[in-house]
A and B are shown apart, each in its own frame.
Chain A
Amino acid sequence: MTGFLRRRAVTSLLPLIAVLLGVFFLARLTGDPANLYLPVSATPEQRQNFIEANGLDDSIWVQMWDYLGGVLTLDFGDSLRTGESAAAMALRAFPATLQLAFSTMLIAVVGAVVIGSWAAYRPNSVADRISSFLSMTAASVPDFWFAIVGVWIFAVSLGWLPTSGVTGGMASWVLPVATLVIRPLGVLTQVVRGAMVSALSAPYVRLARSKGAGDLRVVTHHALRNAAAPALTVAGDLMVGLINGAVVVETIFGWPGIGKLMIDSILGRDFAVLQACVLLTAVSIFVLNILIDIGYALLDARVREKVSA
């Protein structure tokens, strides 16, 4: 297992460097920070001071080397807007995003396993119809539409829930999580259903029945673990989307997470913060992928053997 982890870490290094460089150059395409931060009436002298103070007069290659050197020593530079350390800002925003992502994923996984298994076990039942409805919705309705309609109905018209922010306690979680959960729930339910349909018709399920195993045992014990691998793959993909793609939902609901911080940094040409955010999400996605691989190995001994071979 340690050999496997080491290999994964090494193979993750190259894409990580690519991500770093990509963000560095793309961020600089969005415009010159000096124009944004200084008033139009700034004197050339003021402008020169700003540029020198932030190292913007060096060639882009020198800036890149400075930046990469900083990353190696875990120094991501300071925010142009607040002067605070970029790494600290990213790390402070990250938990809010992770909490949102994990609660969403938990609901999606539990819901998908229950509805998907039930739909597979009883084709054409109520659960089967719910499952088709969910995946249709997930595939066809964009999340910003859900967010806006949700705010309009439940926050503005009915006044039951806050329109945005995190200060409302549990109530402030409802709309963001409900908006985010629709896509993962719809997609995962369909995946679980498909995997369970094939698992339930497998010979090992017949064998279990011939030993007198009841319905619940057949579904939860014999079929579900076999159906778990494809669901895990898709759940991992969706989780990646939640970690770095909650930008829209975080912006609409004023959620102080990494998505919102990224958008704000782009709009403010705050390169250091943007780069720290992207690197943080990239690293967490690599970690997530390794966790998924470990999950496969825990589920199935045949994978374990391949990994240790």
Chain B
Amino acid sequence: MSALSVQDLTVDIETPNGPLRAVNGVGFEAEQGETLALLGESGCGKSMTAQAIVGLLEPIASVTQGSVTLNGTDLVKASRRKRRQMAGPELAIVFQDALTALNPVYTVGTQLAEPFRIHRRMSAKEARGEAIELMRRVGIPHPDKRVDAFPHQFSGGMRQRLLIAMAVALNPTVLLADEPTTALDVTVQAQIMALLKDLRAEREMAVVLITHDLALVAEEADKVAVMYAGHVVETGPVSEVFGDPGHPYTKGLLDSVPVHVARGEELASIGGTPPDLASIPSGCVYQARCPLARQKCRDERPQLKATQGQRKAACHFTEEV
């Protein structure tokens, strides 16, 4: 059984002009000890998917359909109380912007101790000890001194380490990482990803990595789910999907990575822009930008269906890609 199984997840946003479907029937599975990447450009619904999973959607957005199964519990149907009990020990998230995510008025020690205080009812002293241990584990120098420092006294990379420490504090089954390295420079990025990988192996977590970075997916993930306009358009093992894409969007993304381009040559790109959520076409969501589009694509929306092995693609003409 998968550690996390998301099925037919649908999220609607209330607007004065009626609901907008930001996430539309998204499904994927994350396995223990593996990293699944949720890949897509800005506005494709990947962060909204993550927020729906951890139950932190903005009040104007809500899950209208589907299930999120974690350790046998459907999080969509679970009570607020049950979700709160699972937040930390079973499911955790690492946010993107570590400076604003940490509370500026409390020491990092207090904030790191919080999971232990809330879920294990530890005394302040015991929890502080755990906090120091966690800081040591994620590679923060002099943890016994730094435990009483405030978030603004840490560098960006160190703050991201603190967020990761907080997330893994209670050994969650599933760890979501929402663009955990976007705000960091490249060398620090590599260190943070290495840390996540170590922790994943050490604690046998399933990691869901939400990102727009193709290189990161290629290096870090075992499986990938490619999202476009609120839909998963392709999913499968990273090496297979990136080696031989089964959806024209995935192919378009991979082609736009500048690998063997000489100076002065034009870079490949996908023409057009993603559709506005308010006017998603009735057929294939990618039809307007797809080089293979034809009448069938305008008439009928392709469903995500198995192609070969563990792979799936939502394209009528996947063999032509």
Contact in complex: A203, B100 (CB < 8 Å): yes
Residue B197 at the chain A interface, CB threshold 8 Å: no
Q: Are A204 and B85 in contact (CB under 8 A)?
A: no
* B115 and A211 contact, CB distance less than 8 A: yes
**With A203-B95, A203-B97, A302-B152 known to touch, is A210 a contact of B87 (CB < 8 Å)?**
yes
A 217-251 binary contact with B (CB < 8 Å = 1; else 0): 10000100110000000000000000000000000
| B103 contacts A207, C-beta separation under 8 Å | yes
Given A301-B150, A302-B150, also A212-B87 (CB < 8 A): yes
> A202 at interface (Cβ–Cβ under 8 A)?
yes
Given A203-B101, A226-B103, A302-B104, decide whether A211 and B95 contact each other with a Cβ distance below 8 A.
Answer: no
Determine how close the nearest CB of chain A comes to the CB of B59; give it in whole angstroms. 9
Interchain CA distance A300-B95 in the complex, whole Å:
23
Residue B206 interfacial (CB < 8 Å): no
Smallest CB gap from B99: residue in A: A203
**Binary per-residue interface labels of chain B (103-116) against chain A in the complex, 1 for a CB within 8 Å, 0 otherwise:** 11111000000110
- Judge whether A299 is part of the interface by a CB distance below 8 angstroms: yes
Q: Is the CB of B103 within 8 A of A208?
A: yes
> Which listed residue (B89, B104, B119, B152) contacts A204, Cβ 8 A?
B104
Kindly provide the distance from the CB of A295 to the nearest chain B CB, expressed in whole angstroms: 13
Contact residue among B119, B150, B152 (Cβ-Cβ distance under 8 Å from A212)? B119
Secondary structure class of chain A's binding surface, majority of residues? helix
> Which residues from 76 to 93 on chain B have a C-beta closer than 8 Å to any C-beta of chain A?
84-89, 92-93
Nearest Cβ on chain B to A81's Cβ, whole angstroms: 52
A151 to B185, CA, bound (A): 69
Q: Once bound together, how far apart are the Cα atoms of A52 and B54, in whole Å?
A: 84
Residues of B within 8 A of A204 (CB): 100-104
Contact between A210 and B54 (Cβ–Cβ < 8 Å)?
yes
Bound-state Cα–Cα, A209 to B102, Å:
12
Residues of A contacting B97 in the complex (Cβ-Cβ under 8 angstroms): 203
Q: A56 at the A/B interface (Cβ < 8 Å)?
A: no
B166: nearest residue on chain A (CB-CB)?
A: A211
Asked whether B118 lies within 8 Å of A207 as measured between CB atoms, the reply is no
Asked if residues B95 and A225 are in contact (CB atoms below 8 Å), the reply is no
Q: Are B105 and A210 in contact, CB atoms less than 8 angstroms apart? A: no
A-B pairs, top 10 by smallest CB distance, nearest first, are A212-B87, A204-B103, A203-B100, A212-B88, A301-B150, A203-B101, A207-B101, A225-B105, A212-B84, A210-B93
Q: List 15 A-B contacts (CB under 8 A).
A: A203-B101, A204-B100, A204-B101, A207-B103, A208-B114, A210-B56, A211-B88, A212-B85, A212-B86, A213-B114, A217-B118, A225-B105, A299-B105, A301-B152, A302-B104
Q: A206-B56, A210-B95, A222-B103 known; 16 other A-B pairs, CB under 8 Å?
A: A203-B97, A203-B100, A204-B101, A204-B102, A207-B163, A211-B87, A211-B114, A211-B115, A212-B86, A212-B88, A225-B105, A226-B104, A226-B105, A301-B104, A301-B150, A301-B152
